[in-house]
Structure 1
Amino acid sequence: MKAQKFNYSSLKELKADLKELDFELPLSENTKILNEELKINNRLIPNRIAIHPMEGADAEADGTPSELTKRRYKRFANGGAGLIWLEAIAVDKAGRANESQLYLKQENLAQFKDLIKLIKNESEVDPYTVAQLTHSGRFGENNIIAFNDQELDPVSIAENDFHIITDEELDQLQLDYLKAAELAAEAGFDAVDIKSCHRYLLSSLLAAYDRKGKYGGTYENRTRFLKETIMKVKNKVDIDLAVRLNIYDAIPGGWATDQDGNPDLAEAAKLLKELEELGVKLINVTASTPYLKPHVNRPYDNGGYQPPEHPLLGVKRLLELTKFTKENLNQTLVIGTGFSWLRQYGANAAAGMVAADWTDLAGFGRQAFAYPDFARDILQKGEMDSTKVCISCSKCAELKAAKKKAGCVIRDREIYLPIYRELQQEKELNNLSAASS
């Protein structure tokens, strides 16, 4: 299928292209099933719509939520989603992606408590909240890596400007995750995500086939950090456990990936079952890394990086990975990924997939940036407004990659269009400088 931008004016047209892809995606014109609640331990998730962790890169220098951070979560809370999975929160200073990433510590615990109170007070549905705990690894300012990687080194670290984290440092990092989980529980979060995706540090360890020591080589060693950290939190902290997980890396020789970059999901299926046995209550589905293959985890139409495939193929891949994840779990809830590119029809795909038992909840990321009250429209009106939806232009991703404050340049232009224009001007100046040197 030839690559093209979204151009569907009806479900009938979308179904025709899905048929061409031989993809039997369940689409439902009745979205009422998304209003159903879910029980998780003694807590209710009030509906089947989730907001994915979307980094705004706008924290204060010490990692405290800024006024712009609070504005974003106030808008999400007002929007009516039943679950809000907050953006990446660093567990230590060395693991921050940049100086504008959230960082939870004892000194700013009160401000995180206030953020959770704001979300709860602004929402009519009392959303379930997840804290995404992270270490940015090779994509952080300190260039900390688990091993040298011929695919990722060229796009993430400078030659001889990196640190291969030691086993002893990883042992200590487990304790940093535990401390962050304790603080998250005190702040009022319902769950913590031991983030293992997009080839940040923990995700990278899953692919550490050539690393020596107890955190590399065998399957047991490569999954050791994730599982031991989960056990530490489970044994010490009264909070639900979640994982945003790369189901596969889509990088040759990566996690659950063959040498050609195709999925080889036997280890992924095994890990999913083990995470459920360890007590993980939520799995949030994703794949690959936006730093190398953004079209895999975020199908889109435009941008400096040209997708090598029709975006609908990317949607198909993510939704099939969601179905695979659901099929390999019994009790753990699954949050599906891949709906935003479908614009207003993402609601129909979400409802159809929940009804067909392909997923338990539908997660929307970029859509929430562009259209923060999308969930309310689905739940109350049965559909999304086509004039408000994300147009998958990738400008929010460009801002985040450039370590700028990130949001929707199109739908929230008063704040983010000037920042985007500033970025474009910087790029032009850099190009001129490079041309004259």
Structure 2
Amino acid sequence: MYNKKFNYSSLKELRADLSELDFELPLTENVEILKKEIKLDDLDIPNRIAIHPMEGADANLDGTPSDLTRRRYKRFANGGAGLIWLEAIAVNDSGRANNSQLYLNKDNLSPFKRLVDLINSESKVDPYLVAQLTHSGRFGKNKIIAFRDKYIDSISIEENDFHIITDSELDQLQLDYLQAAKLAVEAGFDAVDIKSCHRYLLSSLLAAYDREGKYGGSYENRTRFLKETIQKIRDNVDIDITVRLNIYDAIPGGWSTDQNGEPDLKETAKLIKELEKIGVQIINITASTPYLKPHINRPYDNGEYIPSEHPLIGVKRLLELTKFTKEQLTKTLVVGTGFSWLRQFGGNTAAGMIEDGWTDLAGFGRQAFAYPNFANDIFENGEMDKTKVCISCSKCAELKANKMKAGCVVRDSEIYLPIYKQLKTQKTS
């Protein structure tokens, strides 16, 4: 039951299963609304399709985009999406997940400028570009943590092989984010994302209930780093600010999560409103961490990992969290999440949700890896090609988690199938 395969051949069949879940998801056959641009102050996004930040783990050793990185973003640019949210870019060397993660600094700015130029020159729609600024925290090469966590320690650190970041180090880290934002302007990005999701460092701070000092304990302390960093950038850098945010952790006692692992969204609602008040222009929805509960933020029905729920329940959860977020806001835009598992019906879902005010944009992650031209097909043909869609096997995520170059093993097999076979050989040897 839990790993039931996607087997819908029509919207009618999908609606039937949604009805069994008592989920009134707006679906429409008319996807014209996805072509509509969005204007907000100086922000201009040419259509409603967004590509989520999907790490390829293929940067050069100095943190610059490799040929494979450039190939990925050229394909995304050709694909027609109005918003391209670039993958995680570390703000300092200690914050890199590994030596294959992008890292923007004053000594390597030119290759990032060339990447932005490539995207703009290859796209016909002048996409809005977001640079996702990050510190990988406990999932990085230096194992820097905000606090000990009984649920995540066993999958991320070894005893005596980690560093609990101090308040003074966090103070300095705010300045690293500020410097990275300044460099993002020079590179040509439209916005920066102060990434606060998936239990990387900033996301972890939101759950630092037992941490002492000014960055832990109370709600004000746990949200301090995120809000102060945003304010520093607002005061000093002329660039839009976005946040990819864990709406809840799905970890017992975690951020906006009760002791049973279920959502308790009072603090999230408060934070979302505060982010809008301090000038965040876009919030991108996600939840939990793929290292512990991958089915929460990435519902799927293929692969070795068997989720504890039907993937449609995971889709329902993400889409309802998107709607919840939109309901808290009056101006800030929302990028919804949870469309890729729906395959060729993701566009119908996105259009219906936008029409009904559940979201402003629809974000696709794995779908973009598998099918980078999906937006063009929706705009030109009114639908995606079911022979090209992501099959939600999560092999791309498996590659990334094992610090190997990540992409679609099924649809981009010439490059990524040999890498995946190498991973499987390593695991069996």
Q: How does 1:363-374 map to 2 (within 5 A)?
A: 363-374=363-374
Q: How does 1:245-264 map to 2 (within 5 A)?
A: 245-264=245-264
In 2, the alpha carbon distance for the partners of 1:201 and 1:340 equals 26
Secondary structure of residue in 1 paired with 2:84: strand
For each residue in 1:5-37, what CA deviation from the matched residue of structure 2 results, as whole angstroms up to 9, or x when unmatched?
111111111100000000000001000000000
- The aligned counterpart of 1:20 is 20
- Report the Cα offset of residue 40 of structure 1: 2.9
Secondary structure of residue in 1 paired with 2:108: helix
For each residue in 1:371-413, what CA deviation from the matched residue of structure 2 results, as whole angstroms up to 9, or x when unmatched?
0000001111110000000000110011000000000000000
Q: How does 1:92-171 map to 2 (within 5 A)?
A: 92-171=92-171
- The aligned counterpart of 2:297 is 297
- The aligned counterpart of 1:189 is 189
- The aligned counterpart of 2:68 is 68
Secondary structure of residue in 2 paired with 1:280: coil
Q: How does 1:3-402 map to 2 (within 5 A)?
A: 3-402=3-402
Q: Structure 2: which 5+ residue stretches go unaligned?
A: none
For each residue in 1:304-348, what CA deviation from the matched residue of structure 2 results, as whole angstroms up to 9, or x when unmatched?
221111000000000000000000010000000000000000010
- Report the Cα offset of residue 2 of structure 1: 5.0
- Report the Cα offset of residue 109 of structure 1: 0.4
In 2, the alpha carbon distance for the partners of 1:215 and 1:365 equals 31
In 1, the alpha carbon distance for the partners of 2:145 and 2:5 equals 36
Secondary structure of residue in 1 paired with 2:281: strand
For each residue in 1:190-225, what CA deviation from the matched residue of structure 2 results, as whole angstroms up to 9, or x when unmatched?
000000000000000000000000000000000000
Secondary structure of residue in 2 paired with 1:107: coil
In 2, the alpha carbon distance for the partners of 1:225 and 1:145 equals 14
Secondary structure of residue in 2 paired with 1:215: coil
**What is the letter of the counterpart of residue 384 of structure 1?**
M
For each residue in 1:105-156, what CA deviation from the matched residue of structure 2 results, as whole angstroms up to 9, or x when unmatched?
0111011000000000000000000000000000001000000000000111
In 1, the alpha carbon distance for the partners of 2:13 and 2:281 equals 37
For each residue in 1:240-294, what CA deviation from the matched residue of structure 2 results, as whole angstroms up to 9, or x when unmatched?
0000000000000000000000000000000000000000000000000000000
Q: How many residues align?
A: 429
* Residues 59 and 65 in structure 2, CA contact (< 8 A), matched pair in contact too: yes
**What is the letter of the counterpart of residue 320 of structure 1?**
E
Q: Percent identity?
A: 76
* Residues 88 and 101 in structure 2, CA contact (< 8 A), matched pair in contact too: yes
Secondary structure of residue in 1 paired with 2:341: helix
Q: Structure 1: which 5+ residue stretches go unaligned?
A: 430-437
**What is the letter of the counterpart of residue 199 of structure 2?**
R
Greater Cα shift, 7-16 or 289-298: 7-16
In 2, the alpha carbon distance for the partners of 1:329 and 1:109 equals 35
- Report the Cα offset of residue 3 of structure 1: 4.0
**Does 2:406 align with 1:415?**
no
In 1, the alpha carbon distance for the partners of 2:67 and 2:301 equals 31
Secondary structure of residue in 1 paired with 2:385: coil
In 2, the alpha carbon distance for the partners of 1:35 and 1:313 equals 28
In 2, the alpha carbon distance for the partners of 1:191 and 1:327 equals 23
**What is the letter of the counterpart of residue 178 of structure 1?**
L
* Residues 340 and 367 in structure 2, CA contact (< 8 A), matched pair in contact too: yes
Q: TM (normalized to structure 1)? A: 0.98
In 1, the alpha carbon distance for the partners of 2:45 and 2:171 equals 34
**What is the letter of the counterpart of residue 418 of structure 1?**
P
In 1, the alpha carbon distance for the partners of 2:88 and 2:40 equals 22
In 2, the alpha carbon distance for the partners of 1:281 and 1:129 equals 13
**What is the letter of the counterpart of residue 95 of structure 1?**
G
Greater Cα shift, 185-194 or 41-50: 41-50
In 2, the alpha carbon distance for the partners of 1:211 and 1:42 equals 39
- Report the Cα offset of residue 41 of structure 1: 2.4
RMSD of aligned residue pairs (Cα, Å): 0.7
In 2, the alpha carbon distance for the partners of 1:333 and 1:212 equals 34
- Report the Cα offset of residue 303 of structure 1: 2.0
**What is the letter of the counterpart of residue 185 of structure 2?**
A
Secondary structure of residue in 2 paired with 1:276: helix
**What is the letter of the counterpart of residue 277 of structure 2?**
E
In 1, the alpha carbon distance for the partners of 2:43 and 2:297 equals 30
* Residues 3 and 306 in structure 2, CA contact (< 8 A), matched pair in contact too: no
- Report the Cα offset of residue 44 of structure 1: 1.5
In 2, the alpha carbon distance for the partners of 1:428 and 1:107 equals 41
